[in-house]
Amino acid sequence: MDIIGLGTVAMDVIMQVDSLPKEDGFCLVNKQSYLEGGSATNVIVQASRLGAKCGFISQIGDDGVGKGIKNSLERENVITESMIVKKGGTSLHTLVVVDQEGKKFIMLNMGDVFLTLRKEDVDTEFIKTGKIFYTDLLPGEPAIDALKKAKESGLKTVINVQIGLPLMENFGVSKDAILDSLKYVDVFAPCREAFYALTGTDDYQKGVKQFSRLYDGLLLLTLGEKGSLAVTKDFHLQVPVFEVQVVDTTGAGDSFIGAFMYAFFIRKMKIKEAMEFSSVCAGLTCSRLGARTSPDLEKVKTILKEL
């Protein structure tokens, strides 16, 4: 195995309706569809599409959503043998109700299985079969415990925090827990919201200086239209964004870090080359609608030949 992931799994249930209901009202569902998501699974799927041998660990229910999540990963050649399926459980999902004008509201159903994964139930022997361990630190206790064991076993380790600190804390992962986990991490790739909260400033340049006092590994930031930034104590490198006609930016950050793990750790590219490769992947993801529209290796190779 190349990459073992442990983190967020989800499914978006899209209900297209004639109109959004008002209080005590109702609407007619014209169409219902399902879109696979979850930040951690999006990351792993991107790496798998590029050719990495990937596995994933999480806890899902045996409901239709859980079966859909597991089947979608298997279609992407991700090994799911260590995923725990809880009988009678409700898997994490969102209900997205959207009308004919594109107006919508979203309901998050955390279910009763995702956050109740116990560290004792995580297959650590499966983790040891990998070269790289990836997590978004959710659920907190099993993710951090697995991170420590992966590092002790000699794996490269990557954290990609994709939500802000208030929501992380609601899910049981404190700021202190995140900072304490850094000593086990080779690559730390927080979203901007989380990074600003960790550093106490919304100026990423000032934040980088402050963060260098806390962390001596590779800090990787995606900065939207400003591109991406890689920082260690020895260098500071910024790579421009890959220009595309943007349709939907959802999943771009997930695509970037999935591609970076493949390019940097597996293909052994230099950091600048790996970032440029990852920027192409993220850009292509933005060119289509949906969180899991990341490209395969042939598509990326074609684009790179044209540059």
3-state secondary structure the chain: CCEEEECCCEEEEEEEECCCCCCCCCCCEEEEEEEEECHHHHHHHHHHHHCCCEEEECEEECCHHHHHHHHHHHHCCCECCCCEEECCCCCCEEEEEECCCCCEEEEEECCCCHHHCCHHHCCHHHHCCCCEEEECCCCHHHHHHHHHHHHHCCCEEEECCCCCHHHHHHCCCCHHHHHHHHHHCCEECCCHHHHHHHHCCCCHHHHHHHHCCCCCCEEEEECHHHCEEEECCCCEEEECCCCCCCCCCCCHHHHHHHHHHHHHHHCCCCHHHHHHHHHHHHHHHHCCCCCCCCCCHHHHHHHHHHC
List, in order of start, the domains of the chain with CATH numbers.
3-18+30-306 (3.40.1190.20)
Q: Is the pLDDT of residue 290 over 80?
A: no
pLDDT tens digit sequence for 8-62: 999 988 889 999 998 899 999 999 988 888 899 999 999 999 999 999 999 999 9
**Residue 34, pLDDT score:** 86
The C-alpha atoms of residue 76 and residue 132 are separated, in whole angstroms, by 18
* Residue 35 pLDDT: 84
pLDDT score for 120: 97
pLDDT of res. 257: 97
pLDDT band at 79 (very low <50, low <70, confident <90, very high): very high
Q: Is residue 117 within 8 Å of residue 7, measured between CB atoms? A: no
Whether the CB-CB separation of 163 and 194 falls below 8 Å is answered with yes
Q: Are 238 and 227 in contact (CB under 8 A)?
A: yes
Q: Look at residues 2, 48, 1, 6 and name the one whose alpha carbon lies nearest to residue 255.
A: 48
Say which residue the tokens 């806390």 belong to. Answer: 214
Return the pLDDT at 94. 87
* CB 13 within 8 Å of CB 94: yes
Q: What is the pLDDT of residues 203-251, one digit of tens each?
A: 988 999 999 889 999 999 999 889 999 999 888 999 999 988 888 888 8
